A and B are shown apart, each in its own frame.
Chain A
Amino acid sequence: MADVSPITPPAFTEAPKPQRSRLPLPIAFALGWLGLMLAVAVLADLVSPYAYTALDLRNRLSPPIGLGGTWLHPLGTDELGRDVLSRLISSIRTSLLIAFGATLIGAVVGTSLGLLAAQFRGLVEQAVMALVDFSASLPFLILALAVLAFFGNSLVLFICLLGLHAWERYARIARGLAISANAQGYAAAVRQLGASAWRVQGRHVLPNIASTLIVSMTLAFPEIILLESGLSFLGLGVQPPATSLGSMVGYGREYLTRAPWILLSPAAIIVTTTFAVSLLGDWLRDRLDPTLS
C-alpha cells in the first residue's frame, strides 16, 4: 500500500511568510476568483442573460466580442445558437454543485469510517483498511467508469460516485490522528472521565483533527472538478440537457476548427478554478497544518 497519495502533489514547501494583515497576492486572487464563481453559481438565474437552452437560430456559431461578435452574445453562440455565456453560467453552477456535494460526501464517509476504525479497532478496522487498500488499488477514473457502465447515469448517482473519490484519504487521516489522540493525551483523559465513545470522538477528537481534514478537502476539491469535467467530457458524466464545464468542452470539441470559443471559455474556467483552489489548499496547509505531507 502506498502511504503517500500520489494524486495529491505535494505543496510548495516554502510558504510566503504569513503576514498579519495582508493576504499574499495569489491567495487574494484565488479567494476573489472563488468568490466570483460562488456568486455566479448562486445567482445563476439572475445574471444569466438567456435561458441556457434558449435557441437563437439566426445567430448560430456567432463569435464572441473581439472576434467580430456583438454584445447580443458576448461570448458567442454554439451550433444551435445557444448563448455561450448563459451556458457557461449554468455549467459553473452544475460543476460547483457536484464538486461541493462530492467533496462533502467523501469527507463525511471517509472521516466516519476512519473514526469507526480507530474507535473499535479489531475486525472493524481490518475491514475498513481492506476497503482503503481496495480503493487505492484502482485508479478512481476506472472505478467510476465501471460503476457508470453498470448503473447508468443520474445526477444523484454521479455526485455520490464522485463522493467516493478520496474517501480513503480522509479515512486514513482520521484513523491515524484519532488513534494517536486516543492513545495518549486529551482523548484518553476524557475517556477515563467516563465519556462515551460518541462524546470522545465528536466533541474532542473531531474538532481537533478538523483543520487537517479541511485542508484535505481543499486538496480534493480541484481533483473532483477535474474528474467531473473529465467524465462529462467523455459524455459519461452530466447528461444533456443539463450542462457542465466538462460536457461543454466535450460537445464544443466538434466545432474546434470553426468555433473554438465554445470550448475555450469553459476550459479557461476549469483551469482557473482548479488553480485557485489548489493555491488556496497549499496555502491553508502551510498555515494550518505543517504536519500534513
Chain B
Amino acid sequence: MLRFLTGRLLRAALTIAMVVTFAFIVLRLSGDPAQIIMGADAPPEAVEAFRAAWGLDAPLWQQYLRYFGAILHGDLGRSMRDGRDAITLVAERIPATLALTIPALVIKLSIGIPAGILAALHRNSLLDRLVMALAVAGFTVPSFVLGLLLVLVFAVQLGWLPSGGQESWRHAILPIITMGVGGAAVLARFTRSAMLEVLGQSYIRTASAKGVPWRDVVWGHALPNAAIPTVTIVGFMVGSLIAGAVVVESVFSWPGVGRLLVVAVGNRDLAVVQCILLLVAGTMVASNLVVDLLYGVLDPRLRAGKMGAQ
C-alpha cells in the first residue's frame, strides 16, 4: 500500500514538474520576457537593467532552476495589468467559480448517474431512447450555444432571469444549468455504457440464473462494478471544473477564474495565465490521485493485490 501511494505521489509530482517546465519553455519561446514586461518602447538600458535584476542574463538552465525555485516558494510573479501578485488575483476569483461549479457538479451527478443506470436497466425502452437522445444532444450542443439559448428564452423573451452578472443568487441559475446539463449528458451516456458492460458479464447472468432476486443482482453486483469506470469520469469532471467554467463564465459575465483566464490571455498577462495553469494542473492531478485511491477501495482485486505485496 505504501509503495502504491508513493508511486502515485511521485507520478503526481512529476506531472506538476512537467507543467512548470512547459510554462517555462513556452514563456522563453514566446519572446524576450524583459521586452514583453517592459513594453516594446522601453529604452534599451532599462530593459538591460531589468534583465540583470531578474537574472535573465544567466544561462538558461540557471534561469530554469531559479524559476522552479520561485514557484516552489509560491512566488508566481505579478500581474502585468495592475502589478498585484498573480496568486492573490487568482485566489480572489476562486469563490465565485466554486459558487457555479459545485452546484453544477451536484446537478451532473444527481441527474447523469441515475439517468444512465435507469437507461441501462430498461435497455431499448422509451426511457432509454429518450435519455440517449438527450445525452447526444447534451454532448453536441456546445455550452456557449446552450447558454445563449437559455439567455434568449429566459432572459430576453420571458424576462424571468437576468442574463449576466453576479448580483444575486438568481444570476447564478442560468450558468449553473448551462454547466450542469452538458456534464449530466456525458455522465449519463458513460454510466449507461459502463452499466451495460457489467450487465453483460457472465457473473451477472450466473447470479440471476441461480435465482438471486434481480434487485439484489443490481445493487449487489452490477452497481459496484459499474462504479469503477464511472469514478474515473467523475474524477475527470472534478479535475476540470475550472476549465469547464471558462466558456460559461464568459457567456454570463461571471467574474470567476475562467473569465479571468480569458481576459488574461487576451491581454497576454503571462503571470496570471501561468498561475491559473498551475492551479488547473494541481486540481487535475489531485483529483486523479483521489480516483486512484478510490479504485483501491472499490476494486477488491486491487486490494487483494496490495495485501499480497505486503
Contacts and interface: CB of A to CB of B under 8 A. Distances in A.
Nearest to B267: A149
B19 interface: yes
Contacts of A233: 142, 144, 247, 250
Given A10-B190, A141-B246, A134 B264 contact: no
Interface stretch (B50-58, B173-181, B212-220, B235-243): B235-243
B232 A6 contact: yes
Contacts, number: 159
A41 to B, nearest CB: 19
Interface string A210-248: 000000000000100010011001111000000000100
Contact of B264 (A3, A10, A149, A278): A149
Given A4-B229, A142-B261, A151-B30, 13 more contacts: A6-B232, A13-B193, A137-B281, A138-B277, A139-B280, A146-B273, A150-B268, A151-B29, A152-B30, A233-B250, A249-B148, A253-B251, A274-B140
24 contacts: A1-B288, A6-B186, A6-B190, A6-B233, A10-B189, A10-B194, A11-B193, A14-B123, A134-B15, A134-B19, A137-B281, A137-B288, A138-B277, A146-B23, A146-B274, A149-B264, A149-B268, A152-B30, A222-B140, A226-B142, A275-B136, A275-B137, A278-B136, A278-B140
Nearest to B241: A139
A134 B29 CA distance: 19
Interface in A183-213: none
B272 to A, nearest CB: 9
Contact of A142 (B132, B156, B276, B291): B276
Interface stretch (A100-108, A173-181, A255-263): A255-263
A145 interface: yes
A150 B270 contact: yes
B280 A138 contact: yes
B265 interface: yes
A142 B269 CA distance: 15
B206 to A, nearest CB: 21
Nearest to B279: A142
Contacts of A274: 139-140, 142
A151 B26 contact: yes
A118 interface: no
Contacts of B280: 138-139, 142
Interface in A77-93: none
Contacts of B240: 139
A230 B27 contact: no
How big is the A interface, by class?
35 or more
Given A147-B26, A152-B268, A234 B236 contact: no
B47 interface: no
Contact of B265 (A9, A148, A230, A250): A148
Contacts of B110: none
- Which of A6, A235, A270: most chain B Cβ within 10 A? A6
A234 B250 contact: yes
Nearest to B282: A137
B262 interface: yes
Given A137-B285, A256-B148, A278-B139, A146 B277 contact: yes
Contacts of A2: 232-233, 235-236, 288, 291
How big is the B interface, by class?
35 or more
B204 to A, nearest CB: 15
A229 B141 CA distance: 11
Contacts of A4: 229, 232-233
Contacts of B229: 4
A270 B139 CA distance: 12
A17 B232 CA distance: 31
A243 B215 CA distance: 55
A255 to B, nearest CB: 11
Contacts of B276: 142
A279 B132 CA distance: 12
B303 interface: no
A236 B236 contact: no
A9 B262 contact: no
Contacts of A29: none
Interface string B163-194: 10000000000000000000001100110111
A1 B284 CA distance: 11
A14 B124 contact: yes
A241 B26 CA distance: 28
B222 interface: no
A31 interface: no
A267 interface: yes
Contacts of B132: 12
Contacts of A151: 26, 29-30
B148 A234 contact: no
Nearest to B188: A9
